[in-house]
Amino acid sequence: MSDRAKAEMTIFMITAIWGSSFIIMKNLLDDIPVFTYLTLRFAVASVALFFIFFRSLRIMKKRTLVLGIAIGLMLFLGMSLQVYGLKYTTASRSAFITGLNVVMVPVISSVFLKKKPGLNSLIGVMLAVGGLFFLSGGLQGRYNIGDILTLLCAFCFAFQIILVDYSVAKEDAGCLALIQVIFAAAACALVWAGTEKGPVAIDIETAAAIIFTGLFATAFAFGGQTFAQKYTTPTRTALIITFEPVFAAVFAAVIPNNSGMTEKLSQAVIIGCLLIFSGMVTAVLRPLRSRYFSS
């Protein structure tokens, strides 16, 4: 298996973890304030990544620090808008709107990085956009403040993906992964200290959710994404991450919310999932197949 194939498989695994985290975060926000949760989540991730990459800090350059902080700022803004938006919209809808960064990444990349996406990626993007259209309710879709906040979050994650792609080509990936998460933790802690007052009661279930999202959906996910993007393009990364709402819809249909209800998969959602899957096959698996089976 080539380095690109391994990288894209890693991103696919990360996408599945992110998809599962939407309903977990949605349920968690009934018991804990937004920035309290985000601070604890990023703190857990920071500790985990520090033990893995602390040796990389010895070779850290000023440029690495600046780029890591820039990536961390986009991560902080993206996660803050996403989690706060989850208070006002559904888990699956949040994931669908977040997935719109697949449209933003190739456009922004072509402007700032001069990286024009290939034909198969463009076709895959169009299929994925069609899938997101169905998943969000089509022309009948009604948007609320949570949807608007999540749309802004999609812009932040698009820039985060592009900044990672720009940075890993020249800087140490371990340093970048650690710096971005530490910065996000510090920024969330400042907002927590300034806006959320009073003691917070954390039970076993809440602690388990914080540890899961901190270790797997943050430390492993953003750390793995930083390394994986050394071997693939931002457009292909964003396209694989488009599968996130499919996982979110499935997990939201299986895991009940705090009211004991699950989110139903409508016919439009199923069509959207199939279109997104088709976009992934077109943009990712097709090039790999031609490489391995060409005569």
Choice among 12-26, 175-189, 212-226, 261-275 with the minimum mean pLDDT: 261-275
The confidence band for 290, taking pLDDT boundaries of 50, 70 and 90, is very low
The pLDDT tens digits for 178-192 are: 999 999 999 999 999
Nearest to residue 183, comparing CAs of 61, 40, 64, 72?
72
pLDDT above 60: residue 284: no
- Residue 155: exposure state from Cβ atoms within 10 A (0-12, 13-18, ≥19): middle
Highest-confidence segment of 24-28, 126-130, 275-279:
24-28
pLDDT above 70: residue 102: yes
Please say whether the beta carbons of 83 and 38 come within 8 A. Answer: yes
pLDDT the model gives residue 294: 36
Which is more confident, 288 or 292?
Answer: 288
Please say whether the beta carbons of 45 and 215 come within 8 A. Answer: yes
**Collapsed DSSP state (helix, strand, coil) of residue 229:** coil
Number of separate helices (H) and strands (E) present in the chain: 14, 0
pLDDT the model gives residue 69: 96
The confidence band for 209, taking pLDDT boundaries of 50, 70 and 90, is very high
Q: Per residue, what are the HEC states of 134-149?
A: HHCCHHHCCCCHHHHH
Q: How far apart are CA 201 and CA 199, in angstroms?
A: 7
The confidence band for 85, taking pLDDT boundaries of 50, 70 and 90, is very high
